[in-house]
Structure formats: structure tokens, C-alpha cells
Amino acid sequence: MLYVYTEYRSSSGALLCHDDLEEDLAHNVWSLKSIGSLVGLVGSFVGWWNSLVTNNLLMWTQPLEHFLKCNVDAAIVFMSGHAGYGCIIRNRLGSVLGAIHGILPGIRNPSVAEVLGIREVLSWIKDLALSHVLIEFDALSIVNGLNSSIPNSSSVGLILEDCKI
């Protein structure tokens, strides 16, 4: 498996850090006073996301030749105290070959959610007997941990070790 990090940049070229976006969005959601405010916030976020796509600042890129690409992400649902993950596998032409999603009960830490989601996805890929799969996600610390040969005894590090082949 190859693990790569995806960066998102604003229209000004500034790096949009996944953890910063998640923390900022969570802070804004918790400070809202009404459902109308939440709907407005979500509308603003969707508008911002669409502008990234429309201006070609965010787009899917082909995997290397003879590889499949698996895009993975996880998110925390603070109000439920759970996390969720999802992935989609595509070939070089962008055709969807499969997708999976799941709930991670009781997980409130974004890094733990990311690595548990990746572990579930890797297990699924193994069950499908797929090879030459490029795993792409947006958590740089997890990519660095997976690509590192230095053991990590933290809670995230122990799960990372389980993901290494």
C-alpha cells in the first residue's frame, strides 16, 4: 500500500489544515443559538466547498498507472459522541469500484477516528483481495506515522502499527 496526504488550499493559496477546519467548524456549531443559524453555517460551508471545486482548487487526481485509488475520511459527530468513516475506490478512469462506510461508537478524537477508519478500510481491501491500492486521506500526522519505521506507543500509534503491512 502507498499512503499519501491530500492538501486543500484556499483561493489565496493558503493551506487548509484538516484539523483546523474541523476544530473551527465544531466551535462554530457549538456556539450557535438556533437551527436557522446552523442551516446558514452549513450553507456557507457548502458554498465555500463548491467554490473550491468550481475553481479547480479541489479535484480528484488519477492514481499511478496499474493502481487503484482509495480516498478515505473520518469525522466526529460531537453531539452523538461517535465518529464515522467512509471510503471510495476508483480506477484510473475514475470509475467507482466500491465504497464502504461505518460508525465508530464512542470515538471523540479526530486522529483516533481517522486511523480506526483507515484500519477498517484496509481490512475491507484485504477481504476484497485487492492489490496496488493507493490510500489517500487528509491527516498528515497519520500518513507520517504509517510511513515511519519508528514505533509509536501512543493510542494512535498502536493502531497505526496494526495498519502497517
**Residue whose C-alpha cell is 446558514:** 40
Looking at residue 18, its pLDDT comes to: 46
- A 10 A CB-CB count for 27 gives 9
pTM of the model: 0.69
Which amino acid belongs to residue 118? I
CB 76 within 8 A of CB 117: no
Q: What is the pLDDT of residue 95?
A: 92
Within the chain, where are the H helices? 18-30, 35-54, 110-127, 140-147, 155-163
Q: At what angle do helices 35-54 and 18-30 cross, to 10 degrees?
A: 160
Classify 118 as helix, strand or coil: helix
The ranges assigned to domains in the chain are 2-6+60-163, 8-54
As a CATH number, domain 2-6+60-163 is: 3.30.420.10
pLDDT score of 160: 86
**Tens place of pLDDT per residue across the chain (165 aa):** 455 555 555 455 544 444 445 555 555 555 666 666 666 766 776 776 677 667 766 667 888 889 999 999 898 887 778 889 999 999 999 899 999 999 999 998 888 999 999 999 999 999 999 999 998 888 888 888 888 888 888 888 888 888 886
